[in-house]
Amino acid sequence: MKNNNILGMVALLWIMVMSMNHVVGQTYQIPTSGTTNVTGCSGIVQDPGGSGDYSNSCNGYLVITSDQTGCMPHISGSYNTESSFDYLYVYDGTTTSGTQLAYCTGTGTVDVTSTTGSLMLYFHSDGSVVRSGFDLNLTCSGGCGCGGPVVTYSTSSGHILVNWNAATGVTHYFIEYGPHGFTPGNGTRTRVTGTSYNISGLTDGMQYDVYVWFDCGDDNQLTNEVGTMISATPNNIFFVPSSGNNSVTACNGILYDHAGPDGNYNNSCSGYTIIYPDEPTCVVHLEGSYNTESCCDHIYVYDGAGTGGTLLGQFQGTGTINVSSTTGPLTVQFTSDGSVVYSGFSLQFSCRGSCSCGGSPYGVTVVQGNTGVLVSWDAGLDPDVHNFIIEYGLSGFTPGTGTTVMTSDTSYELIGLTTLATYDIYIYYDCGGDNVITDETATIITFCVPDAVACIDFSDWSNPAITCTYGTFDNPYATVGVVDNGYASVESRHTINYINETDPRTNDELQTIPPCELYSVRLGNWNTNYEAESISYDFNVDTNNADILLLKYAAVLENPGHSTEEQPRFDFEILDQNGNQIDPTCGYASFIPGGPGMGDWHTTGSLMWKDWTNVGFDVSAYHGQTIRVRLTTYDCDQGGHFGYAYFTLGCKKRTIVAETCGEMLSNTYTAPAGFAYQWYYEDQPGNIICTDQSCSVTVGSGHQNLHCHVSFIGNPSCGFDLMTSLTARYPLASFAPERDGCTWSFMMNNNSAVSDDGETPNDFFEPCESAHWDFGDGTTSDEYNPSHEFPGPGTYVITLISGLSQDACLDTTTFTVDLMGNYPVITGNPYYDAICKGDGTTLIASGGNTYRWYVGNELISENASVYVEPEQTTTYTLVSVGADNCEVTIEHELTVNPTSDSYLTDSICQGENYTLHGFSLPPQLSAGTFSPQIVLRNQYGCDSTVHLTLTVKPLPNTSLGRPFNHCFEDFGDAALLVPEANCDTYLWSSGATTQGISVSEEGTYSVTASKNGCENHGEITIYNVCPFNIYLPNCITPTNVDGINDVFKLPTTKDIAEFAIHIYDRFGKLVFSSTDPNFSWDGNINGKIMSNATYTYRIDLTTTGAEKRVIKGILTVL
C-alpha cells in the first residue's frame, strides 16, 4: 500500500521556473513589401503570413539590430517554401550588400549569427504556390551573455538533486540556494564544473529556492548572466501524530500515519493533522489507500480546520479515500485501540479550485521508445482534466516556440528527434480544455536522446561475445561467470544500472548513468577482501560504420596510499582473441588513485572518484578483425580497500563535425570526444590554435585546410590526424547498394561526402555527419551505413538524406532496387489461383532461365508452362534460376473448388412462374410434367446443376362465355354455369358458392373456382336487351269520339331516341309528318276529315340501343 517510489514523483514537488534578466520574446514579421527595422535579442521571426501561409508576390525586408551592446543577433529554425521560386536571404548587416549568410528555399533549417550586430532578412515569393513559411528563433550571442540553463531536479530526504543542460563554451556554473523567497546573493552559493549538484543537509518539508547560472565569461563572477530558479521541497511528506495535533500549509505532499511509509502504527493513537492550502483560492484534495484494523482503528476526514467541521468520511479496514474540502483546509484524524496494528495509510494531497487544476503532471518518465522518445505521466488528480499539452524543443528553447502536441492519453511518443541531442520537454494539464497554455504549470524534463543503435550491446550477459570473470587481486580472471544480484547489492560484481540514481559513497554527487545513455555497467563493488573482476567484449571492427571505440567511465576508488602496484585501480585494454594486448602503448589505460592523470578526480575522505569522462581509442588499424575490449577493477592488494567503476561503450566515426554548413564566414569544428586535441592550419603546423575538442576559426582567411591531431588522454604519443577543408561545406548524398548473394539483404555502402560546391566531394573525402534512410518498404534507419533485408520480391525506391551540422544542410538521393525483374513469377491461363473441379488450367512461369515443376517430390515438368487438372487443391512447387542466377523456390497453391448436382421435385399451377431455390422459370402455359436442368453458379463460381421434376397442374375451366343480351321482361332470369364440375370451391361475385347461379338483371358477374390447389377466374357481362315492337292500329274513328282509337299515335315512346313519321294519301301525296314520338293525328287534312279514306305511313326510328327500325303500314279513317 505504501510505495516508497512515490517520494520521487514530480507530483510531490511544487514547481516554479522563472528566468531573470530575460526579455520576453516578441514576434517580428517580415512585411509583404517594403522594409521594417526592429531591435531585439529575443523573439520569433515570421514570414509575411505570420502563423498561416504566406501570400504570393512578397518582396519584403526585415532589419534586426541587437538591443544590447556587444550582442550579435542569431536566428535559427526550419523553413518550408516553394522550392526554387520562394526564398529567404539572410545578410550580415543592414543592407543586401552585406555578406550573404544563408539562402533558404524548399524545406530545411537555418542557423546563422551576425558578426556586425545586425541581420537583414529578405523574403520573396512568386505568383503561384504558397507554403507555411517559417517561424525562426531570434536570440543574441557574444559578449552579452550565454543564455540561461534549463533546470530539472528530484528530491529525497534532506536533498535536492539539481540538473541542468550544458552550454557550448561554458565550463563552470554557479548554483545558489536558500529558503523560499531569499534574495540572490544572500544564500549559499558555489561554483561547479559538472551539470548536476546534490544539495544536502536540508530540512524535509521546507521549501527552498535554487538558482543556477552559466559562468559565461568563465571569470568566477556574475555580471549579466541569465539565471534560472526552481522551488522545491525535500521529501514533502508529513505525519499524523500519534497524539495531539499538527498542521501543514502546502499544495503537494503525502500524509502518513505516525509510523511513516515502512512501519506499522502503534496502539492507542489519537491525533490529527490540519492541511491548509498555500494559495488562498484553493481547496485541499485528498486521495490514497489505507489498511487498518477493520473494527477498531479509524481514519476521520473533516471539512475545515479541526475536528469540529463536517465529517466527510470515516474509513477503516482496507480501501481508498478520495475527498475534497469545500472550505479550503482538511483535517485528518487517526485513532487506534489497544489490540492489532497494521501498516496504516498513505494519502496524497493536492490543491484544487480556481488556483489550478491539480498543479503540474506528476510521475513523469522519459524512456527510449520503439520509434522515438516515450513520455509518460500519471493522470491528473482533478477528474475534470481530460487532456494534456506537451511542448518540446532543443534544450534551452523558449516556451511557446517549441513543437506542441495535444493528447488525451497519459503518454506520447515524440518522433523524429535528433540522436544524442538534448531536449527540454514541458508537460501541462490542459486545465481549461482549450488546447491553450495559459496559467497551467509545467513539469519540465530534460532528456538526451540516446543512440538507439548500439555497436556493442554491453548489457546482455547471455551474449556470447561477452565474457565475465571474477577472482582476486592476483588473478581477476580465475573464474568465468557473472555475479549479479542487482545493482543495489554490495555482492554484485557485474551488474546493470537501468535507473539513474546517485552513488551514496560520493555524497550523491555521482550519477550512476551518464547523460544520453540508457544504462551503464557497474564493475566491482564496495566490498573489500582482495576482490577483482573483469568484463570482456568481442568486437568486429568495421570502419565503414565506426573507427573509434568510445569508453564513458566513472570510477570510485579508495586511496589508501599504498604503493602504485598495490592500489585499487580500473584498467582498460584492447586485446586480440587470445588475450594478448594488441598495442600495450596505445591500447591500454590504467586509472590508479594518486597516479598520473588523477588531478581532476574528486576526493571524499579517503575516497577518490572520477565523474563521467569520455575516453576514445582509435581502432581503425584493426578493420576486419575481431578485437577484445577488457575492463578490470581491483580492490587493493592488502585487502582493506575497494575499487569499482561504471562504464558504457560506444562507437563513433573518426571525423570532424562542423557546426555550420553552406557558405559561412566562420565555423566551429569538433573532433570526436574522449581525446586530447591540437588544432592547426595545414600551412602553419607549428602554430597550435586550439586545444579543446571544438575549435572556432574564420573561414576564408587565407588558410585552406584545418588539421586536428587527436591523441590519447595521458599519452600524447598515441593519436591520429584529422583534416577538413576551410571552404563551403555541403552534403553530397551518394550510396551504392550491394546485394548479399541471393538473399534479400543489401549493404547500403554509404559514400556520402562533404562537398565544396554541392556537386563533387572535397579533397579529403570527408563523410557526411548523419544519414536518414527510407528503404521504400515502410522501414527507416538513422544508421550511417546500414544493411537492410527487404521483405521479398518487389521494386523498392531507397531514399538517403545525408546531413551536416545537425542536419542544417541536407542532400537527398534515391536508388531503385528491382527485386521483381530478377524474380520468376507464376501466372495462369485461364485461371491462376483457383479452378472448378473437372476443369484444368495452364500454369505459366516467367522471369527465369530454367524451370522445374514439382508436386511434392515428383517432377512433373521442366517447361516454362505446365497444364494441370487436379482433382483436389494442390500445391505446385516451381524451382527456377532467375535472371540474377539465383535459384528460387516458389510454392503456388491451386485451389480446386467443388461443383454440385441437386435433384428437386415440385409442382406449380398452370401459368405460374417457378421462383424457388434461387432460380426462376418462365410462366408454364401447358399442364403436364416437365424435367428441366438448370445450371447455376455456386459461391466459387463453379457449376451447380439442378435436376427439377416439375408438375404443372391444370387450372379449372371457369369460362362463362362471351357477353350476351337477354330480355329479362320477356324471358325472366338468366342462368350462369361454371363448365368445370367438382371443383373444390366456387365463389361468385354475388357471394354464391355453387357451380351455377341465376341472375335477374343485367351486369358483370365473376366467379373464382379452386381445384387441386389451383385457382382460376371467369367473368361475363349480360345486357338486358328486349326486341323493339310497336303495335299500331290499322284504323281510327275520329268522328266517333268515344276515347277508343280516336287518333293515330304511338302506344309508347319508351326506348325511342330518334323518330320520324310520314303519312300519304292513296295518290302518294304527303298529308302528315312529324319527328315528335308523342305525335297525334286524327285524319284532319286541311281542316277536314275524310271518312272512309285509306292512307299509308312510314316510321323511321332509332332506339336507345342504337337499333334502327322502319315501320310501314296502312291506316283507314272511318
User: Domain boundary residue among 232, 264, 294?
Assistant: 232
User: DSSP labels for 948-989?
Assistant: EEEEEEPPP-----S-EEE-HHHH--EEEE-SS-S-SEEEET
Does one domain contain both 485 and 629?
Answer: yes
Size (the chain), residues:
1118
Domain presence at residue 103:
yes
Angle at 72 between CA 446 and CA 75, to 5 degrees: 55
Does one domain contain both 486 and 612?
Answer: yes
Cα Rg for the chain, rounded, in angstroms? 54
Does one domain contain both 604 and 688?
Answer: no
Does one domain contain both 595 and 667?
Answer: no
Supply the CATH number for residue 123's domain: 2.60.120.290
User: Domain boundary residue among 208, 232, 256?
Assistant: 232
Domain presence at residue 5:
no
d(CA 997, CA 358): 96
User: Domain boundary residue among 448, 478, 501?
Assistant: 448
d(CA 1109, CA 1061): 12
d(CA 1118, CA 1113): 16
Angle at 925 between CA 923 and CA 928, to 5 degrees: 110
Does one domain contain both 246 and 102?
Answer: no
Instruction: Write out pLDDT tens, residues 519-569.
Output: 899 999 999 999 999 999 998 888 877 888 888 889 999 999 899 899 999
Q: What is the pLDDT of residue 442?
A: 78
- Count CA atoms within 13 Å of residue 299 on its CB side: 35
Q: What is the pLDDT of residue 701?
A: 72
Q: In the chain, how many domains are there?
A: 11
Q: What is the pLDDT of residue 359?
A: 61
Domain presence at residue 699:
yes
In Å, what is the CA distance from 457 to each residue of 302, 493, 674, 842?
Answer: 56, 18, 20, 53
For residue 674 the three cell numbers come to 574522449
Domain presence at residue 1002:
yes
Instruction: Write out pLDDT tens, residues 846-889.
Output: 888 899 999 999 999 999 999 999 999 999 999 998 777 888 88
Does one domain contain both 250 and 314?
Answer: yes
- What does pTM read for this prediction? 0.45
Torsion angle, alpha carbons of 630, 631, 636, 641, to 10: -150
Query: How many other CB atoms are found less than 10 A from the CB of residue 730?
Result: 22
d(CA 212, CA 331): 38
Q: What is the mean pLDDT of each run of 10 residues along the chain (1118 residues)?
A: 33 29 60 89 87 89 80 88 87 87 90 88 88 87 62 73 76 87 84 84 78 78 72 80 90 87 91 87 87 94 94 94 91 94 91 62 70 76 76 82 87 76 83 73 77 71 92 96 91 88 88 85 94 93 84 90 92 86 85 73 87 83 89 94 93 82 85 86 92 87 86 78 88 94 91 91 84 93 89 91 87 90 76 87 90 94 94 94 83 91 91 85 87 87 89 94 89 93 95 94 95 94 84 89 88 90 92 94 89 92 86 91
* 3-state secondary structure (DSSP) of residue 12: helix
Q: What is the pLDDT of residue 24?
A: 32
Does one domain contain both 870 and 907?
Answer: no
Does one domain contain both 712 and 788?
Answer: no
* DSSP secondary structure letter of residue 220: S
Does one domain contain both 520 and 628?
Answer: yes
Does one domain contain both 714 and 742?
Answer: no
d(CA 781, CA 453): 9
Domain presence at residue 455:
no
Q: What is the pLDDT of residue 142?
A: 60
Secondary element (H or E) of residue 1057: strand 1056-1064
Does one domain contain both 321 and 349?
Answer: yes
Q: What is the pLDDT of residue 645?
A: 96
- Count CA atoms within 13 Å of residue 240 on its CB side: 29
Supply the CATH number for residue 503's domain: 2.60.120
d(CA 230, CA 148): 13
For residue 441 the three cell numbers come to 504549470
Does one domain contain both 188 and 253?
Answer: no
Backbone angles phi, psi at 908, to 5 degrees: -140, 170
d(CA 300, CA 320): 13
Give the domain range for residue 500.
Answer: 466-652
Query: How many other CB atoms are found less than 10 A from the CB of residue 1064?
Result: 15
Domain presence at residue 460:
no
Domain presence at residue 456:
no
For the chain, give percent helix, strand, coil, nearest 5: 0, 50, 50
Q: What is the pLDDT of residue 2?
A: 40
Supply the CATH number for residue 165's domain: 2.60.40.10
Domain presence at residue 3:
no
